[in-house]
Amino acid sequence: MMKLIIAEKPSVAFAIAKALNIKGSKDGYIENTDYVISWCVGHLVALAEPSVYDEKYLKWNYADLPIIPQEFQYKIYGGKQKQFKVVKSLMNRKDITEVINACDAGREGELIFRLVYAQANCRKPIKRLWISSMEESAIREGFTNLKDGSEYDNLYHSALCRLWADWLVGINSTRLFSLLYRKTLNIGRVQTPTLALLADRHNKISFFKKEKYFTVMLDVGGVKAETERIDNEDTAKEVVTACEHSQAVCVSVKKEQKTEKPPKLFDLTALQRAANRLYGYTAKQTLDYAQSLYEKKLITYPRTDSRYLTEDMADTVNRVISVSMSVSPFDSISNFVPEVSAMLNSSKVSDHHAIIPTVQIETADIAELPNGELHLLKLIICRLISAAAEPYVFENTTAIFECGGYTFTAKGKRIISYGFKAVEKLLASSSENEDGGDPSVTFTEGETFLDIKPELCEKYTAPPKPYTEDTLLSAMEAAGAKETTDDAERKGLGTPATRAAILEKLVQTGFAERKGKQILPTKNGTLLVSVLPDTLISASLTAEWENRLSLISKGKASPKEFMQGIEAMLAELVSRYREFDRTQSNPFQEKSGVEL
């Protein structure tokens, strides 16, 4: 009897076919005497539009809100009907006795497969392939350790609740506030709180009032020593007068050795941040490059939220490091002894381990890769080698001087061992004294400097910097963390796999825009945040949902109760915003009254 393997996309299906030596291409599938392999082309099945439930929903009316289906209905994505028919017919073929879910090993991959399985009315037993690498050895090992599909039922229920809740909140909130303000306002559970982060930073910058302050600087043996901030100019001038032609005495020298541990390996968000910082790549570009590298078997699964490897991977990672050291410019490193113990922690790996290169880079012609993919691969190699390198060790020196009855401070920094930073410098140059300070601060207590000439320095406080995708991704990751329990499956806004799409949607809908590396809210984006209730713009709602979804995925919470909570929230929201107060101006209309 035959077994049917369903992959998430054609490239993965063909990689599995090669690993299992399955040949015999057909129209939409591959078949031999034991297996049939087909694919989903990403999401084949989606939730249906409101009008499918009732034609009256084609027109947006407040009286119809909230729209809450008794039972959700689905549709086949446009242009994918042919492949769905292929998969459906294979699932119901009489000689197929078992279906193997080989979609991406995570919540989204589980959802993609289960929706197709349900829409095809398939009832055959399910097995689950769960792997983190597309290398042939990993694929074959995964097929020798297939799991029973029922072990992932709770993961599916969690994914389904997320899908339904996002649809309910998006459809109802968008229609409600679009009707109130007579302008299409796209609202989403994750994208709107993300927009609120941008708007909040924009407001802090716009309303920032710079404050003048002063310091007094001394030149002591070619080193600058400075007072603390002085808010009053007259007071600063008094310091200058007191110090002119006086002597400065070193009264204290403190030296402190510091050690900075090597960086953790990349998860997707950390990789997107680093690629934006170094190369200016958007989160989506980085994800696209990483996905291509994964399908070319050059890196492991990219959509991961873990920065660790499992403890049984010690030999594997040592071999990968050895291979990575042959890639330019890392082939210039000598006498390198990797230390991998800090990157091994099975308890911090859930769906997939951290992103690392594969041994395929040894035989691949990586010089032929497109520039974006080559940059990203070398960045991942650099992080792996850096994570296995020695710590960065330096010595901070703080020298305190007294002059004219006032205190001045000079700071220095001496590098003892560059450690992992020597590896990082091969990819991107950085300042040797990145933390500030002068390496020549080598004073001794009691040392005296004569005929001091103080300098009055006028300075101003600076506003917060606009978000880049690097810093915005960091803020998204941290948002709502206080409200999220430690064991929640995800913290922050979105997941590593969805954050790129969230940022792209904000730009495409006209609520955010890119200027160089910066990402800024548009006027309409700022206005939208200003009119919405806290439940739709704060990270708290997302954090609360993530807690509940995490419990559902572990079988510790009821999907039904979760959905009842969502429905109650929407009913309250619609009730509260019954009608726009016509005595107030509509911020989305210009003074002439013409809609934007």
Specify the pTM: 0.85
Segments in 120-152 forming alpha helices (H)? 136-143
Tens-digit pLDDT profile for residues 398-415: 999 999 999 999 999 999
Architecture of domain 268-387: Orthogonal Bundle (1.10)
Closest CA to 126 of 139, 116, 141: 116
Q: Check whether 280 has a pLDDT greater than 80.
A: yes
Pairing of strands 96-102, 126-128: parallel
Angle at Cα 200 formed by Cα 196 and Cα 201, nearest 5°?
A: 120
Rounded CA separation 494/68 (Å):
24
Q: What is the DSSP track for 201-269? A: HHHHHHT----EEEEEEEEETTEEEE---B--HHHHHHHHHHHTT--EEEEEEEEEEEEEPPPPPB-HH
Distance of CA 355 to the CA centre of its chain: 13
The helix, strand and coil proportions of the chain, stated in percent and rounded to the nearest 5, come to 45, 20, 40
Rounded CA separation 428/273 (Å):
15
Closest CA to 275 of 520, 517, 519, 521: 517
Tens-digit pLDDT profile for residues 363-397: 999 999 999 999 999 999 999 999 999 999 999 99
Rounded CA separation 11/510 (Å):
34
Q: Check whether 564 has a pLDDT greater than 70.
A: yes
Q: Where are the domains of the chain?
A: 2-44+80-145, 159-206+466-576, 212-262+392-460, 268-387
Of 143-147, 182-186, 327-331, 341-345, the one with minimum mean pLDDT is 182-186
**Tokens matching residue 283:** 């989160």
Tens-digit pLDDT profile for residues 435-473: 555 677 889 999 999 989 999 999 999 999 999 999 999
Q: Residues 281, 301, 406, 577: which is the catalytic one?
A: 301
Q: How many CA atoms lie within 13 A of 91 on its CB side?
A: 26
Closest CA to 540 of 596, 592, 482: 482
Segments in 328-419 forming alpha helices (H)? 371-387
Tens-digit pLDDT profile for residues 48-99: 999 999 999 999 999 999 999 999 999 998 889 999 999 999 999 999 999 9
**Residue 509, amino acid:** T
Quickly state the pLDDT bin for 589 (edges 50, 70, 90): confident
Bridge partners, residue 248, by sequence: 449
Rounded CA separation 513/285 (Å):
16
Specify the DSSP element, H or E, that contains 287.
helix 283-295
| Residue 301 a catalytic site member | yes
Tens-digit pLDDT profile for residues 126-175: 999 998 888 888 899 999 999 999 999 999 999 999 999 999 999 999 99
Does 212-262+392-460 carry CATH code 2.40.160.50? Answer: no
Q: How many CB atoms are located within 10 Å of the residue 153 CB?
A: 15
Which backbone phi and psi does 457 adopt, to 5 degrees? -115, 125
Tens-digit pLDDT profile for residues 15-40: 999 999 999 889 999 999 999 999 99
Which backbone phi and psi does 287 adopt, to 5 degrees? -60, -40
Q: Check whether 426 has a pLDDT greater than 70.
A: yes
Structure-token match 């990672």, residue found: 317
Of 96-110, 334-348, 431-445, 569-583, the one with minimum mean pLDDT is 431-445
Which of residues 430 and 576 earns the better pLDDT score? 576
* Average pLDDT of the residues in 235-243: 96
Q: Fold for domain 159-206+466-576?
A: Topoisomerase I; domain 2 (1.10.460)
Q: Check whether 483 has a pLDDT greater than 60.
A: no
End-to-end CA distance of the chain: 62
Rounded CA separation 586/581 (Å):
9
What's the CATH number for 2-44+80-145? 3.40.50.140
Distance of CA 215 to the CA centre of its chain: 40
Q: How far is CA 264 from CA 344, 383, 518, in A?
A: 10, 8, 26
Q: How many CB atoms are located within 10 Å of the residue 370 CB?
A: 10
Rounded CA separation 377/517 (Å):
21
Closest CA to 5 of 126, 118, 147, 109: 126
